[in-house]
Amino acid sequence: MTTEIRTSRWPWPAAALAVLGSFVLAMASPADVVQGDLVRIMYVHVPAAWLAYLAFTVTLLGSIGYLVTKNLTWDRWAAASAEVGVFFTGLTIVLGMIWGKPTWGVWWTWDARLTLTAIMFFVYLGYLALRRTTSEPTARARRSSVLGVVAIVQVPLVHFSVTWWRTLHQPPTIVRPDGLQIDDPLMVTALLVGVIAFTVVYAAFMAKRMELARLEDTLGELETGGEAPVAGEAVVAPNLAGEGGVL
C-alpha cells in the first residue's frame, strides 16, 4: 500500500507579506535623535525577544498539558515551540551584539540582561538535546516536560533583569510602570507591526514544524506496521540452472 504525503504551503506567503509590511514601516520611521539609523535594529530585536518569550510560554503550556493528559500532541507542541524559541533567542542575541558594538564599543559584555539571555538560550538548547537522549516517546515527553516547566522561570528573570539590577542594557521600552517610552507615533506603529509580523512568522514556523511532526509519526507507523520494505527483501537467489533448466 502506498501512503500519499502532502504538505501545505500557505504559511510562507502570509509570513512574507507580514515581514514586508514590517520592513516598509521600519524604513519609513524616523531616525532616533541619539542613535540615528541604528535604532532600526530595534524593529527586529524587540519583536524577536518577545517572540522568544511567547515560544517558551507555549513550551510551558505544552509541557503542562502533557503532564496532565499524557497526550503526546501536547508534547509535540512544546517541542516545536522550543525549537522556534531557540531560533528567536539566537536572533535576539546576534542583533543585540550588532547594536552593542557601535553603542557600547564591544560586541559582548557580561551585563545581567545579556548573560541571562545567553543562559536561557543554552538551557533550551539543553531541552532539545534532552529530547534526543531517548527515542521512546513517553519517556522523552515525560523528561522534557519537567524541564519545560522548570525552565520558564528564565523568562521573567530575563525581562525584569534591567529593572531589578543595574545594567548597561536600556530599561524596558513597552512594558513598564510609567508607560510607553516612545513619543513618535510612527515609531510605535512600526514596532507594534514588527511584533505582529514576527508573530505571523512564529505561527508559520509552528504550522510547518507540527506538520513535520505528523509526517514523522506517519513514517514511524509505517515502519512499525510492516509496510516499510524489509532489509534484503529485494535480494533473490541466483538462477544457476540456466535458461534450459539444466545446470
Q: Which CATH number fits domain 11-224: 3.40.720, 1.20.120, 3.90.550, 3.40.50?
A: 1.20.120
**Could you tell me the three cell numbers for 94?**
546576534
Using CA atoms of 119, 122, 124, 125 in order, give the dihedral in degrees to the nearest 10. 180
Q: What is the pLDDT of residue 34?
A: 75
Give me the residue spans of the domains in the chain: 11-224
Q: What is the pLDDT of residue 40?
A: 86
CA dist 73 → 53, 66, 79, 202, 214 (Å): 21, 8, 10, 18, 10
Q: What is the pLDDT of residue 177?
A: 54
Q: Is 36 exposed, middle or buried (0-12, 13-18, 19+ CB in 10 A)?
A: exposed
Mean pLDDT, the chain, integer = 82
Q: What is the pLDDT of residue 31?
A: 80
Q: Using CA atoms, how far apart are residues 132 and 113, in angstroms rounded to an integer?
A: 29
Neighbours of 128 (CB within 10 A): 14
> Quick check: 1 pLDDT over 50?
no
> Quick check: 143 pLDDT over 90?
yes
183-215 confidence digits (pLDDT tens): 678 888 888 998 999 999 999 999 888 888 777
> Quick check: 69 pLDDT over 50?
yes
Q: What is the pLDDT of residue 6?
A: 55
**pLDDT band at residue 85, thresholds of 50, 70 and 90?**
very high
